[in-house]
Chain A
Amino acid sequence: MKFMGYRRPDGRVGVRNYLAVIPSVFCANKTVERIAAAVPGAVALRHPVGCAQVGLDLELTARTLKAMACHPNVGAVLVIGLGCERFPSQELYEAAVENGKPAAHLIIQEEGGTTNTVARGIELAKSLKAQVDAMKREPCDVSELIIATKCGGTDATSGLAANPAVGNMVDRIVAEGGSGILSELNELLGTEDMLARRAVSPEVAKKIYTAVGEIEDLLKKSRDTGLGENRNELISPGNFAGGVSSVVEKALGGVHKSGTSPIVDVLQYATAPEKGRHGLFLMDYESHDGEVVTGMIGCGAQIVAFTTGRGNPTGHPLAPVVKVTGNYKTYAHMQENFDFDASGIIQKGDTVEETGARLFEQVLRIANGEEMTTAEKIGGDELFCIGRRHGYHLPDEFRMSCGE
């Protein structure tokens, strides 16, 4: 099965064709914003890091920013650095160039300040945008698609309708040879046996147990203050209000969004699967909406399927985020923030099968660029957040592998 996508020099396929303006450090955020605002179709990737970090945190920042610059939904890249940051903007620029993207690079301290950099940046951005606009969609195989899955603002309808519908859509993508990613491992506590049974090999099953077990241990160890006693559960007030009573109930509902395909591997944060490897993946990370979505996009996901029972307006600057709900009340109340209503499964007896088929068709229209998601129309970009581990007092033995 085919869809119309952008074939990139690295062989991957994009569903959008952005000019990404990326600061290597937060000090360049406003400059980046002003450049992007002056060039229609350019997106700014604001973030709060890039300096004063060490070890794994700095590595995650570097890895994530490079993954964004090399992402298949990006046609061209303009990197803006300050000049003295620990993550050198030159390294980000070189990653984009090596990936085959048309790219340019400015350093605020060398250009002589904000105004000069913005003026020069707009010129460069306009010229890159012309190159981006000349790129054309071509027929690409659905097996090139990677769908990230995420729940945010879960209620009890998520596990009944929205997640099963997304799971069915992911099964259809995988059946076409494509891929899906499930993550938020701290929200999967209680489902590790079910997930391990779906692993393609005992090695992958072991990786699943290790990843979920480490997250649970880290959470237990991270409580280092008596403050915030009643804020410290892995479940939010909105989850409770929506009828979800425990993290295990939430997990059993959440795991449905991965469908029923075998789990082929456990991926590291913002790290692409082995070349040629397709199917359903787990990504090792916790559930902060922005950080986990950015990590899965960093793994190469071009589209995000996001289920919410309570309603959620967020989007990502580099990927369409398809909002799905199973709650008819929330859908009626916040329609401008939804792309797909799965509540018929609860309200009208629609089957998961037919609902998933409808969602699959819509995802292909979104991949083709025939349809923009509500988050894209609103300009939602809140989900671009870079993963961090310092909040978890990461013990040495749990250090993520930062190889490559």
Chain B
Amino acid sequence: MLRRSMMIFPEDSVAMVLEDAQKGDVIETPRGRVELLEDVEFAHKVAVVPLKKGDPVIKYREEIGYMLADAPVGTWIHNHNMGCDRGKV
């Protein structure tokens, strides 16, 4: 099923789904058609380019964190597979 989504800048490496979506659903992005590899909730992020462990994750044209594991296109990107060293005490 085609789900609504949004990318803030076409250079970003993630898109956000704009409705609760299931594994196998599809989003259309400026980087191409992406099939979701898992369920993704409203407003959460999905990789639109293949990401390798250590790669920066780009949103708002800025680095919001780095990958803790490899993630093919369609992977849900969140704090389980993305790290960030700032703001930790």
Q: Pick the residue among B43, B63, B64, B79 that contacts A155 (CB under 8 A).
A: B43
Closest to B84 in A: A246
Say yes or no: A249-B65 contact (C-beta < 8 A), given A160-B16, A243-B45: yes
Interfacial chain B residues near A243, Cβ < 8 Å: 16, 41-45, 78
Within 8 A of A (CB), among B43-87: 43-45, 57, 59-60, 62-65, 77-79, 82-84, 86-87
Cα–Cα, bound, A220→B44 (Å): 29
Say yes or no: A246-B65 contact (C-beta < 8 A), given A156-B16, A252-B60, A329-B42: yes
Interfacial chain A residues near B18, Cβ < 8 Å: 346-347
Closest to A186 in B: B87
Q: Pick the residue among B62, B77, B79 that contacts A252 (CB under 8 A).
A: B62
Say yes or no: A157-B87 contact (C-beta < 8 A), given A246-B65, A346-B6: no
- What are 21 A-B interface contacts by the 8 Å CB criterion? A190-B62, A223-B89, A232-B88, A234-B89, A240-B78, A240-B79, A245-B45, A245-B64, A245-B65, A245-B77, A245-B79, A247-B86, A248-B63, A248-B65, A249-B60, A249-B64, A253-B60, A327-B43, A329-B42, A346-B6, A347-B18
Contact with B along A207-219 (1 / 0, CB 8 A): 0000000001001
Taking a contact as CB atoms under 8 Å apart, the answer to whether A248 and B6 are in contact is no
Chain A nearest CB from B85 CB (Å) reads 9
Cα–Cα, bound, A234→B87 (Å): 6
Since A160-B6, A160-B8, A190-B62 are in contact, a sample of 9 more A-B pairs with Cβ atoms closer than 8 Å, ordered by chain A residue number, is: A160-B16, A189-B86, A232-B89, A234-B88, A235-B87, A245-B45, A245-B77, A247-B87, A252-B62
Cα–Cα, bound, A243→B43 (Å): 6
Cα–Cα, bound, A245→B16 (Å): 12
Does A127 sit within 8 A of B, measured CB to CB?
no
- Interface size class on chain A is 20 to 34
Interfacial chain A residues near B78, Cβ < 8 Å: 240, 243, 245
Does A233 sit within 8 A of B, measured CB to CB?
yes
Does A242 sit within 8 A of B, measured CB to CB?
yes
Does A335 sit within 8 A of B, measured CB to CB?
no
Contact with A along B19-50 (1 / 0, CB 8 A): 00000000000000000000001111100000
